Structure 1
């Protein structure tokens, strides 16, 4: 019996992380200082994007992306139902209408075949954009989504919160990292404690568009600029102008310092996640009643989550919790949340995601999970399934 609880996810804070934060706390800047730009530059380099904008959380990042893409009241945007609420809420914040597209039964990502059917069934111009999600860390094939988006005149916000470091191989054999901006207009990442990189709260928006980058920067800080090239008047060095209705979505310098420090271990963290996956897969292979995650050969899964499917999900969930293994469910389908049901969605609309939800369970997955702890998790899962 393991006496210490084993959560489904956990941050990893090192002495180097702590020193980076302390050094910044002792510096001249706690916010709007040099560590922000350092974090943005290094993160953009990590995912392969031209621009990155640090924000106080990923929800803010999604809202900024939707605002920069000019989502207006009445605009219809297609979103996956297998995601955290923020992926759809960002459209509602702008007054847009959310339309859900069901998921693929293997990858749990937005089903591009169903997306294409939705687009073909409606007059051109009905939809303005799509918000697909690299769910659990599985990278979307955004090359395919981009072709479809271009055909129907849609923008793409890639919710990559689960997938820094993940990539797919495109039609030319090139690795395309999640959030690199080659196919999506904007991508959004999260630095919540259970994610690959933790800053407490925090997020990043990446893009390859200078126009969108400028808008993201403007909206992040109240719609205010001091850039002499953009000012309508020039009163002196102190002068600034509020040119749009923006927000206060800034990240602090000490959070950015933590992010820079965490980023240095990102590759090692991904490798450890893959080791954990191999152990799970080997242990569960051949066990009737456990479906392990799908992973195609041309995709490098970032494994934010390790999701299995079982017949009696509630029973296994309760049994694991009784044994100090705090497995979790990701997520209740978003279209069935009371808020979205009152907007016209109902049970039965999206059968694949609804069936997935009945059986899914996320097992502990984080780099500091020990082999002993993982063996205990495996033992308890198999114990319950076989009894």
Structure 2
């Protein structure tokens, strides 16, 4: 609830990973066999795998060449085509890549027009603001998912969380994270599956529509009683993790301010090198989880990456497009399907960016990068 309050959402459901939160969000929105989920190819595989956990099918929408987020123009075109061939998505997962919010105000009208639900993958974006509003407020979505993995903006060691403004979605995600079990008499069912209503005067639960010979479970008079209403999971966050996350949350604003200062300094230090620094949409405030640069080509990227790693600098690449993974090739995806995401990937390197990075260390990163590119 502390996170929900921080991002101006009504409800927060803490779980053991962002992957679990994505899975629960899909389950809460009744994604299942025969349904489609669309997401960005420029993301970690969990953004797509959550659909497959539910037996649904996955497709992708190419990215914007400036923000590296899902392209609204490509989405609009793909939706119109999907409407004609009867393959509209049930759920869209826009990913706030590197902490920069997607254009949710433009995506929301498309959801209304074409009838799909929205789960924001904000694994990179706690503390970001979209059109002046906190990411996670769910103004333009049904559910938002955050990650508290060790490398994220704040951490619980490992963990995740979903926010929503819908009490039914919040209740269902909370139930599914703990085996699908409820202890709330108002949620329970009779043996025939009928809802039970709590009768305050008698102190017992009775069937909403009792049938002849139907047993009535006196759940409210049995304090140990619980019911599994559907198949759920053990996705709970531990109390120790929650305590760590609560303390980290108090420092989030300072962490993000430091990231912005370092990113602006990177912009200055790299201005004379043959690299493209990350664009920041002036309408939004990025959480700056990553600082991904673009070099001239894939051969240059490989050389620079190896040189920096050899120098003990922990660069990385975010991300290999999901549709190019071997496990997704068997669904018919092929090289060239999402050319903007593939072009971005061939040139991408994420430079170190974290609050305790010193300016001296940052100078070394830029010096070694310059040497590798010369």
Residue in structure 1 matching 2:277, options 282, 286, 292: 292
Larger Rg: 2
Matching residue of 1:64:
24
Deviations 1:320-358 (A, max 9, x none): 011111100001000000011111100011110111111
Equivalences for residues 93-108 of structure 1 within 5 A: 93-108=53-68
Instruction: Using the TM superposition, give the Cα deviation of residue 286 of structure 1 relative to its aligned residue in structure 2, in angstroms.
Output: 3.5
Matching residue of 2:291:
306
Residue in structure 2 matching 1:160, options 101, 119, 122: 122
Secondary structure, aligned partner of 1:229: helix
Matching residue of 1:130:
92
Matching residue of 2:34:
74
Residue in structure 2 matching 1:151, options 92, 113, 116: 113
Q: 2:48 & 2:180 partners in 1: Cα distance?
A: 23
Matching residue of 1:16:
none
Structure 1: gaps of 5 or more residues: 1-40, 170-174
Secondary structure, aligned partner of 1:294: coil
Residue in structure 1 matching 2:188, options 231, 237, 253: 231
Instruction: Using the TM superposition, give the Cα deviation of residue 122 of structure 1 relative to its aligned residue in structure 2, in angstroms.
Output: 2.1
Indicate if the aligned counterparts of 1:228 and 1:234 stay in contact, CA closer than 8 A: no
Q: 2:262 & 2:83 partners in 1: Cα distance?
A: 47
Secondary structure, aligned partner of 1:308: strand
Indicate if the aligned counterparts of 2:31 and 2:51 stay in contact, CA closer than 8 A: yes
Instruction: Using the TM superposition, give the Cα deviation of residue 203 of structure 1 relative to its aligned residue in structure 2, in angstroms.
Output: 0.3
Indicate if the aligned counterparts of 2:176 and 2:232 stay in contact, CA closer than 8 A: yes
Residue in structure 2 matching 1:253, options 232, 239, 252: 239
Q: 1:245 & 1:315 partners in 2: Cα distance?
A: 49
Q: 1:227 & 1:234 partners in 2: Cα distance?
A: 12
Secondary structure, aligned partner of 1:130: strand
Q: Select between 121-130 and 309-318 the one with higher mean Cα deviation.
A: 121-130
Deviations 1:180-206 (A, max 9, x none): 111111111100010011111100000
Q: 2:62 & 2:183 partners in 1: Cα distance?
A: 45
Indicate if the aligned counterparts of 2:72 and 2:103 stay in contact, CA closer than 8 A: no
Matching residue of 1:278:
264
Q: 2:103 & 2:340 partners in 1: Cα distance?
A: 20
Residue in structure 2 matching 1:193, options 117, 127, 150: 150
Deviations 1:105-130 (A, max 9, x none): 01000011011101111226622121
Secondary structure, aligned partner of 1:158: strand
Q: 1:320 & 1:262 partners in 2: Cα distance?
A: 30
Q: 1:184 & 1:68 partners in 2: Cα distance?
A: 14
Deviations 1:253-273 (A, max 9, x none): 000000000001000000000
Secondary structure, aligned partner of 1:77: strand
Instruction: Using the TM superposition, give the Cα deviation of residue 226 of structure 1 relative to its aligned residue in structure 2, in angstroms.
Output: 0.3
Instruction: Using the TM superposition, give the Cα deviation of residue 152 of structure 1 relative to its aligned residue in structure 2, in angstroms.
Output: 0.2
Q: 2:96 & 2:252 partners in 1: Cα distance?
A: 17
Q: 2:112 & 2:133 partners in 1: Cα distance?
A: 18
Query: Scaled by the length of structure 2, what TM-score is found?
Result: 0.89
Deviations 1:157-180 (A, max 9, x none): 1000000011121xxxxx122111
Matching residue of 2:75:
115
Matching residue of 2:249:
263
Equivalences for residues 339-350 of structure 1 within 5 A: 339-350=327-338
Q: 1:250 & 1:143 partners in 2: Cα distance?
A: 32
Structure with more relative contact order (C-alpha pairs < 8 Å, separation 6 or more): 1
Q: 2:136 & 2:344 partners in 1: Cα distance?
A: 26
Indicate if the aligned counterparts of 2:41 and 2:61 stay in contact, CA closer than 8 A: yes
Indicate if the aligned counterparts of 1:138 and 1:299 stay in contact, CA closer than 8 A: yes
Indicate if the aligned counterparts of 1:179 and 1:187 stay in contact, CA closer than 8 A: yes
Secondary structure, aligned partner of 2:101: coil
Structure 2: gaps of 5 or more residues: 190-216
Instruction: Using the TM superposition, give the Cα deviation of residue 143 of structure 1 relative to its aligned residue in structure 2, in angstroms.
Output: 1.4
Indicate if the aligned counterparts of 2:42 and 2:319 stay in contact, CA closer than 8 A: yes
Q: Select between 123-132 and 294-303 the one with higher mean Cα deviation.
A: 123-132
